[in-house]
Structure 1
Amino acid sequence: MRRWVLAGGVLVYVAAVAILVATGNTEVHYSADGGETRPMWFRWLPAAVGILLIRLTPPQLDRAPGGRSDRRQAWILVGLALAFAVLLKLFGLFEVWKVLLLLLAPLAVFRWLGGRPTERWPATARWAPALPVAAWLLLTYVGPLAQESARPDLAVLDLVMAMVAVFLINSVLEEVFYRRWLQTRWEQQLGPWPAIVIASLLWACWHVGIQGTGELGVDLAGAVVNQGVLGLFLGYLWSRYRRMWPLFTVHGAVNAMGILLSLV
C-alpha cells in the first residue's frame, strides 16, 4: 500500500509537468494577488535545496509517530480537504469554508472520535531547521529566482493588520490542518513520504479555486508543480523536526515576503 501510494503520487507530479509542457503553460502563477508568473522550475530549486539540507541536517525522525492510529480520522480529514477545494472552486467564500472545514469540523471530529496522532513528540533541537529554512528564503527571494510583488496601496496600520490576519488564517491554520493533523495521521498509516505526498497534493489542489484560469486540467497541473512541490518541502520539515515554527516561517514568507520587499 505504501509503495502504491508513493508511486501514484510521483506519477501525479510527472503527469502535471507533462501536461504543462504539452500545453505550453510552463509559466505558473505563484500568487493569487496578481497575474505574475514564473517558469515552473523556479519554484523547484529552492524546495529541492531545502529538502537536501533537511536530509543532511540532524536531528532527523523519519518514522511514524506514536499514539493511537485512527484510520477513520485520516480519511475524514482527506474528505474535509477535498470538500474545501471543491466548495471553494464552486462558491468562493474562502474564509467561511476554511474556518468551517479546516478548523471547526476537525476539532469536532477529534472530540467525537478521541485520540491523538501522537502522545509525545520526540525531542528535537529547536533551531535545527534554521539552515534549510534560511536557504529556501534566500533562493526564493534573493537573486535571479526572486519573485516579484506589486507595492500595496495601503496605510501602514492597515497593511500590518491585513498581514496578521492573512498569517493566521493561511499560514497557521493551513499548516496545522495539512501537516500537523492530516499528514501526521497518514504517517501512522503509511509512513513519512507517502503521507507527505498526500498532504502536499491535497494542499495544492485547493489553490485552483483562487488562482485558476478556467482550464481545470491545466490549473490542477499548475497547482501541483507550484504549491505541490512547496508542500513536499513543508511536509519534510514537519516529518523530520516536528517543529511548527519552520512551517509558519516558510508559509508566512510565501504570503507576505514579496510585499515586504516591495516596500524597501
Structure 2
Amino acid sequence: MLNKTSRWAPCRGTAGLVVLVTGLALIAGSALWLALTSGGEIRYTSDHAGTRPMWHVWIPVLAGLVLTWLMPSPPRAAAVSGPSAGRALHLQAGVLLASAVVFAVALRLVTGGGHAPEPAYTILKVVLLLAVPMLLFRLTGRDAVQREAVRERPDVRHRSWHRYGPAVPVAAWIVLSQIGPFAQPSGEGDRTAGLDLVTLLIVMIVVFAVNALLEEVFYRRWLQTRWEHVIGPLPAVVLASLLFAAWHIGIHGTGHLPTDLATVFVNQGAQGLFLGFLWSRYRLMWPILTVHGVLNAGSVLLDML
C-alpha cells in the first residue's frame, strides 16, 4: 500500500545518485563531443541527412522544463511499501529495463546504423515494448502494482488546475519548437510527400499509435514509473530518457556508433527529459502524447496549413 506518511524525495539512495549524475554527464559529454566534432550540428530526422544546431532542440526543452516546474501539480504519492508489492515492482522494473536495452541493441544490429527495415522494426517494437510487458504484468500481478505505482491520489484527480496545468509548458514548447527560429525544418524528401489527404491521415494515425502511444506507455507510464519507486523520480526520468534515446540510433544512425549515440542523447534524450518530467509531475497521458505526436508529425501538420 502507499505509505502516506513518507516524504517524496527526488533521488533515493546511492544508486539513484549514480544514475542521475552518470546520465546527465552522458548528455553533457555528448554535447561537448558534438560541439568539437560537428560544431553542434545533429541529424534530426530519419527521412534525410539534414542537420540542425542542437541548441535549437534544447531551448524549447529548457523552456518546457522550467514552466513544468513552476506550474502547480498534484501532491506526489509516496513510495511503495509492503514486501509483496515491492518484489513485484522490482522484478517489473528489471525486466522492462532489459527489454528496453534489448530493443535498442537488436534494432542497431538489424539496421547496422542505417534506416530500420520493415517489418523488422515494427515486430521488434511490438514484441519488446508491448508483448513482453503485457506477459510480465500478467505473471506478476499488474493490477496490484498499478494501484501503488501509477495512479495519482484520488482526492486530487478532480482539480482542473492539476489536470490542465501542463497545458502551459506544452503550449510553450510547441510554439518554440515548431514556429520561429528554433523550429525544426520541413522534411525535404519526406516519405509522406505525394500522399492524398485521406491516406496521409491514416498514416499519421497508425504512426501515432505505433510510435507516440506505444513509446510513451512503455518508457514513461511503465518503465519510468517503476524506476521512480526504486531510485527516485529524477534519476528515473534520466534513465528512461537515455533508454528512449538509445533505440533511435537504429533509425537516425550514420554507422559511426559514438557520434550516433551522442546525437540521440542530445536530441531524443533531451526531449525525453521534458516528456519524463511532465509524466513525473502530473501522471497524465495527454501532455506527453501531445508533445510526442507533435515531434513526429509537427512539420507535416504545419505544411498542411
Shared topology, TM-score over 0.5? yes
Give 1:90's match in structure 2, choosing from 109, 113, 123.
109
Which one of 48, 51, 55 corresponds to residue 62 of structure 2? 48
Where does residue 164 of structure 2 map in the other structure?
Answer: 127
- Matched residue SS, 1:28: strand
Find 2:51's aligned residue among 37, 44, 49: 37
State how far apart, in whole Å, the 1-side matches of 2:284 and 2:267 are. Answer: 23
Equivalent residue, structure 1, for 2:137: 110
Q: 1:204 aligns with which of 245, 256, 269?
A: 245
**Distance (whole Å) between structure 2 residues aligned to residue 27 and residue 64 of structure 1:** 41
Read off the aligned partner of 1:216 and give its amino acid letter: L
Quote the residue 1:216 is aligned against: 257
Counterpart of 1:162, as a letter, is V
Closer/same/farther in 2, CA of residues 220 and 62 from structure 1, 3 Å limit: farther
1:65 Cα offset (Å): 5.4
- Alignment partner, residue 177 of structure 2: 140
Does the Cα contact within 8 Å between 1:200 and 1:235 map onto a contact in 2?
yes
Residues 157, 114 of structure 1: alpha-carbon distance in 2 compared, 3 angstrom cutoff: same
C-alpha distance after superposition, 1:183-218 (max 9, x if no partner): 000001011100000000000000000000110000
Q: CA deviation at 1:158?
A: 0.8
Written as runs of structure 1 = structure 2, the 5 A alignment for 1:1-264 is 1-24=15-38, 26-61=40-75, 66=80, 68-69=85-86, 70-91=89-110, 92=116, 93-115=120-142, 116-119=145-148, 120-122=151-153, 123-124=156-157, 125-150=162-187, 152-264=193-305
The aligned amino acid for 1:245 is: W
Q: Work out whether residues 53 and 131 of structure 1, in 8 Å CA contact, stay in contact via their aligned partners in 2.
A: yes
Alpha carbons 1:20, 1:218 under 8 Å: kept: yes
Cα deviation code 1:50-75 (max 9, x no counterpart): 01001100024456554733211111
Structure 1 residues 204 and 62: CA distance shift in structure 2, 3 A: farther
CA distance in 2, matches of 1:260, 1:74: 36
Q: Distance in 1 between matches of 2:96 and 2:197?
A: 38
More displaced 10-residue stretch of structure 1: 1-10 or 175-184? 1-10
CA RMSD across the alignment: 1.6
Displacement, 1:263? Answer: 2.2
Give a deviation string over 1:81-128, Cα, whole Å, max 9, x none. 011111111124111100000001100011111242443322342211
SS at match of 1:239: helix
Return the alpha-carbon distance in structure 1 between the equivalents of residues 180 and 78 of structure 2: 37
What is the DSSP-based 3-state SS (H/G/I as helix, E as strand, rest coil) of the residue aligned with 1:38? strand
| Alpha carbons 1:49, 1:135 under 8 Å: kept | yes
Distance 2:73 2:242 in 1: 26
Bigger shift: residues 159-168 or 80-89: 80-89
Alpha-carbon distance change, 62 to 12 in structure 1, aligned in 2, over 3 angstroms: farther
Q: What amino acid maps onto 2:42 in structure 1?
A: V
Greater Rg by CA: 2
Identity %: 46
Is contact 1:65–1:184 with CA below 8 Å preserved after alignment? no
* TM-score scaled by length of structure 1: 0.95
Letter in 2 for 1:175: E
Supply the distance in 2 between the matched residues of 1:118 and 1:128 (Cα, whole angstroms). 23
Structure 1 SS opposite 2:165: coil
Secondary structure, counterpart of 1:111 in structure 2: helix
TM-score by length of 2: 0.83
AA aligned opposite 2:16: R
CA drift at 1:24: 2.1
* Contact 1:30–1:37 under 8 Å retained in 2: yes
Q: Residue 4 of structure 1 aligns to a residue in which SS?
A: helix
